[in-house]
Chains A and B, each alone.
Chain A
Amino acid sequence: MSLLSQWSARELVVIGIFAATAKVTTLIVALAGGGMNPLSLMGKNLVFTTLLIVMLCKVSRPGTLTLFTVINSIVSMLLMGASVTLLPPLLAGALLGELAMWPGRNSTGLWPKVAAAAVFDVVTKALSLGVSYLLTRENAGMMIMIVPFVLIGYMGSLGGLYTGVHAVKELRHAGIIRQ
């Protein structure tokens, strides 16, 4: 079985649906709270990380995180004209996340997925600071304003790890996630 054909149509649909949900929910939360509201910034990241963990538990295969990231990036570029500069941090985050999940790839446990999501969040946030520097390099002092926002977002991601674990436990209890 080749690497690209390991997912069934059912699993690919789950990835697509979760990518759409993540995009819509984070957009709504960001718009509802206003761009500069720290709570909505945290909420946006919290929702994204929770959805990521639920999706990784629903489609428990190596490569799922990378595929999710690639699809998200392609659609963001097609639909929203997102800058290509965001792609390398996301891809690096996804690949390192996969690496973190690799030792527990055959396990049905929750922790390899949580580790993958945690690594993904840390790497993408750290590398997105580099991208921010690239965009505001003419006035690097502006980075002082960007760093706290990224840190607030990361706090939301940490909260998302906690809520993700609880959501998966509840969904397993309800029999919605069977692995």
Chain B
Amino acid sequence: MKATEFIVNALRKQGVTQVFGYPGGAIMPLYDALYDGGVAHLLARHEQGAIMAALGYARAGARVGVCIATSGPGATNLVTGLAEAMADSIPVVAFTGQVPSALIGVDTFQEVDILGMTLSCTKHSFLVEDQNDLDRIIAEAFTIATSGRPGPVLIDIPKDIQLAVMANETVSELAELPPLDGLVDEQVAAARALLHAAKKPVLYVGGGVGMANAVPELRELAAALDIPMVSTLKGIGSADPEHPYYLGMLGMHGLKAANLAVQESDLLIAVGARFDDRVTGKLDEFAPHAKVIHLDIDACEHNKLRVANVAITTDLKLILPALKMTLDIAPWRLHSLEMKVETAFRYDHPGIAIYAPLLLKQLSASLPEDHLVACDVGQHQMWTAQHMTFTQPENLLSSAGFGTMGFGLPAAVGAALARPDAMPVVVTGDGSIMMNIQELATINRAKLPVKIVLIDNQRLGMVRQWQTLFFDGRLSQTILDDNPDFVALAAACGIPGETVVVKEQVQPAMDRMLASKGAYFLHVQISEQENVWPLVPPGVNNGEMLERYDEC
């Protein structure tokens, strides 16, 4: 048995049924084994599309994403996806072909030191030196990708190793993960004491909740505490959006009530969150009166940016139930509710031009219950986080920590394969979609019913917004008024669509899109002057948000 046949068997043993990739010279032996190996392969049209699809597959379907690329440029095209997976803790195993062992280090055609290049954006990486190590390496790669805080693992395999014959053809049985340490009674007692004493506590929910599969535990805790809650971008969907004291996303483009509650709070319970700069604004003025309970599976996050009064490194499924109690915080609940009501978004936008926040609110209300939304990066991403409603974290796929333009379209491809019963939707912008536009051809090839909503302001909108606000309106390289004809571009890839330009066209067009059986491209033209509000400007605390009325 050749090593590549063994690799495919090992993937099947790991439960892998779908991989993503792009063939090339140094990975041809593995592609030969995939030809009839019993694992489905989706051909992207660029290696970055392949890895983003694997990430979408992993995040939407709560499993490991697997992607494959050849050596050299194939491997380097994966790098952005690996970094994305590192930033957002997404379990992915990437296989790269490498030039034959004897030719490594002599500048061979399509040779690059991908292991050296990706040390900083993988959780771990392997260069296979002996085919008989593959059994151990693949098992370790999947364990590393999924255990603790998930992340990307790279396996680089020289071509001669791929072609070599295995001494042992049997894939080892999967080892069970060692159990995590249990809770420490003193830490739990300390956290409970802080919680019990708090008058203005806030639950600060991050992406770790969904990754830990701890959404039920979080919601049970929130119900017991009846506590104001805020969410990071990746945490959206974890808290029940119907909970009366759920205040929405916090941070730079967070909801005003969420930011004000955190600034006023006397206790923050950070759950699977990491005090990211887009969350905290000016760090030393973030939640200035709050003590901190920090719950995370990764000890590296504790005391990194904000010193915690109690830091607990554990599985969230264990710790969250241990914090249930009744809180005596009626005035704080009432105050939070008043802030939520007083600062709620308004959608009475004047004029006939399409207002993206209203469109996204309409879209959210129109989607079938089983849906997922993949975003790109920029203004539309923030509007999606602010104005759409998500009931599960795996229903919103957004490049949060890394901010990778071009994520949305291929992520939706992978997500559509992970969750074939869910309606896959992409919300993207005219800047972002061009970063991986070639994946329209993948959607057509795989006949995936992806509904693409392109919010087009003929600008790199978020950068344009900052240029307007903070760079004296000098619009350097952000005007895209020569964009391609997007509907024609989609049509060229076999995807029907239409353009809407005024409010009254939106709902009928959206209905046509949602009723269509296959992929659909809804091109939405909006004013280039729309900004994302609120906004915490750089260098100030989250209590000093700019709002729409500050525009004039």
A binds B: no
Binding site for B on A (CB under 8 A): none
